[in-house]
Chain A
Amino acid sequence: MNTSQITAKSDTSSTEPIIDIRHLRISFGNQEVLKDVSLQLFKGENLVVIGKSGSGKSVLIKCIVGLLSSKSGTITVFGENINELNREGLGDIRKKIGFLFQSGALYDSMTVKENLEFPLCRIRRNLNQQEIDQKILEALENVGLASALNKMPSQLSGGMRKRISLARTIVVDPTIMLYDEPTTGLDPITSDEISSLINDVQQKYKTSSIIITHDIECARATANRILMLQDGEIYMEGDLAAFENSTDPTIKAFFK
Chain B
Amino acid sequence: MEIKTPVIKAKKIALYHILNISQQTFTKAVSATNFFSDVAEVCMFFVRFVKETFTRNHELKEFFKQCFQIGYKSLPLVSVTGIIMGLVLTIQSRPVLANFGAESLLPGMVAVSLIREMGPVITGLICAGKVASSIGAELGSMKVTEQIEAMAVSSTNPMKFLVVTRVWAATLMIPLLILYADGLGMLGSWVGTNLKGDVSFALFFIQAFSHINFIDFIPAVIKSFFFGGVIGFVGCYKGYNAGRGTESVGIAANSAVVISSLLLLIVDVIAVQITDMIG
Contacts and interface: CB of A to CB of B under 8 A. Distances in A.
Contacts of B150: 99, 101, 105, 107
B153 A97 contact: yes
A118 B146 contact: no
Interface in A138-196: 172
Interface in A55-99: 62, 65, 67, 87, 91, 94-95, 97, 99
A119 B155 contact: yes
Contacts, number: 48
A53 to B, nearest CB: 14
Contacts of A11: none
Contact of B156 (A65, A101, A122): A122
B147 interface: yes
A119 B152 contact: no
Interface string B149-163: 111111111000000
A119 B154 CA distance: 5
B36 to A, nearest CB: 19
B155 A101 contact: no
B155 A122 contact: yes
For chain B, the bracket of interface size reads 10 to 19
**Chain A, interface SS category:** loop
B141 interface: yes
Nearest to B149: A67
Contacts of B153: 65, 67, 94, 97, 99
A131 interface: no
Nearest to A87: B157
B145 interface: yes
B143 to A, nearest CB: 11
Nearest to A88: B155
A108 B141 contact: yes
A101 B154 contact: no
A90 to B, nearest CB: 9
A94 B155 contact: yes
Contacts of A105: 145-147, 149-150
Contacts of A99: 150, 153
A94 B154 contact: yes
A68 B91 CA distance: 59
Contact of B155 (A95, A102, A103, A106): A95
Interface-centre pick from B138, B141, B146 (highest chain A CB count, 10 A): B146
A108 B150 CA distance: 12
B155 A67 contact: no
A39 interface: no
Contacts of B156: 118-119, 122
B146 A103 contact: yes
Contacts of B147: 105-108
A123 interface: yes
A254 to B, nearest CB: 26
A172 B147 CA distance: 18
A106 B154 CA distance: 12
A94 to B, nearest CB: 5
29 contacts: A62-B149, A65-B153, A67-B149, A87-B157, A91-B155, A94-B152, A94-B153, A94-B155, A97-B153, A99-B150, A101-B146, A101-B149, A101-B150, A102-B146, A103-B145, A103-B146, A105-B145, A105-B147, A105-B149, A105-B150, A106-B147, A107-B142, A107-B150, A109-B138, A118-B154, A122-B155, A122-B156, A123-B154, A123-B155
Interface of B: 138, 141-142, 145-147, 149-157
Given A62-B149, A65-B153, A106-B147, 9 more contacts: A65-B152, A91-B155, A94-B153, A95-B155, A101-B146, A101-B149, A107-B142, A109-B138, A123-B155
Interface of A: 62, 65, 67, 87, 91, 94-95, 97, 99, 101-103, 105-109, 118-119, 122-123, 172
